[in-house]
Amino acid sequence: MRQYCPPLEPYLTVIHSDESLLVLDKPSGLLSVPGRAPEHHDSLAIRAQEQYPGAMTVHRLDMDTSGLVIMARNPIAHRQLSRLFQERQVEKVYYAKVWGELMEPAGEIDLPLICDWPNRPRQKVDFEVGKPSLTHWERISVADGYSLIRLMPVTGRSHQLRVHLQAIGHPILGDPFYAHPQALRAAPRLLLHAAELRLPHPGTGEALQFASAPDKNLFAVDRTE
């Protein structure tokens, strides 16, 4: 892992809090959960637990990805939220700025993924033993050799969006694992943001919807299609 320098401002951004769940807005550069090494202890989970004792991780975002993360407030809510994720009742929307100008207005990427063990945590496409992985995408705008796209993952494999976009020749800008040198240099960070979450409340069943706007200075692409 690269030298870990998590951002301290904002320290913890809480989008929503109730007796069952937290919705947090994670900055790029902060781990979702503590790493094994002492210097990787600082994380979104640790920061949340300082303010909300007993908060429990339900899912994660990659360190370089920014955006919305849900945590459970108690064991019962944790079981309920985990079930919602397993049954794909949680709808997730991401925004990404990618290399190249996508010609089609929308599409899907259906490529099986598996861990690239000699190079972990990298993942790879493997048609023999990879797990089914599906991503829907929509083009928002294109300009100057880049595209801004909306991503709706159906499955939730590790690094799924990053590997899928690399596999079709449109790596996410600033991706330290999967971008080619030009795409890596094109942005100061991974331009992938978890922008929307929709799910039933784990206790009441009420339909919940949360949003976090990506950094307009980083994600802007001028020409709307």
For residues 26 and 94, give the distance between their C-alpha atoms in angstroms, rounded to a whole number.
13
How many C-beta neighbours within 10 Å does residue 11 have?
13
Q: What percent of the chain has pLDDT over 90?
A: 96
8 A C-beta contact, residue 208 and residue 199: yes
User: Average pLDDT, whole number, for the chain?
Assistant: 96
| pLDDT tens by residue, 1-46 | 578 999 999 999 999 999 999 999 999 999 999 999 999 999 999 9
User: In the chain, which ranges are E strands?
Assistant: 14-17, 21-26, 56-57, 66-72, 91-99, 106-110, 113-115, 123-125, 134-143, 146-153, 192-200, 207-211
Largest CA distance in the chain: 49
Q: Which residues are catalytic?
A: 62
Q: In this model, does residue 85 exceed pLDDT 50?
A: yes
For residues 117 and 119, give the distance between their C-alpha atoms in angstroms, rounded to a whole number.
5
CA distances from 107 to 35, 135, 153, 168 (A): 36, 9, 12, 11
pTM for this entry: 0.95
For residues 214 and 24, give the distance between their C-alpha atoms in angstroms, rounded to a whole number.
14
Which helix (H) or strand (E) segment is 142 a member of? strand 134-143
CATH superfamily of 14-219: Pseudouridine synthase (3.30.2350.10)
8 A C-beta contact, residue 130 and residue 113: yes
> 60 in helix, strand or coil?
coil
Phi and psi based region of residue 109 (left: phi greater than 0; alpha: psi -120 to 50; beta: remaining): beta
Kind of pairing between the strands at 134-143 and 56-57:
unpaired
| pLDDT tens by residue, 114-169 | 999 999 999 999 999 999 999 999 999 999 999 999 999 999 999 999 999 999 99
> 187 in helix, strand or coil?
coil
pLDDT band with cut points at 50, 70 and 90 for residue 225: very low
> 153 in helix, strand or coil?
strand
Copy the structure tokens of residue 139.
């083009």
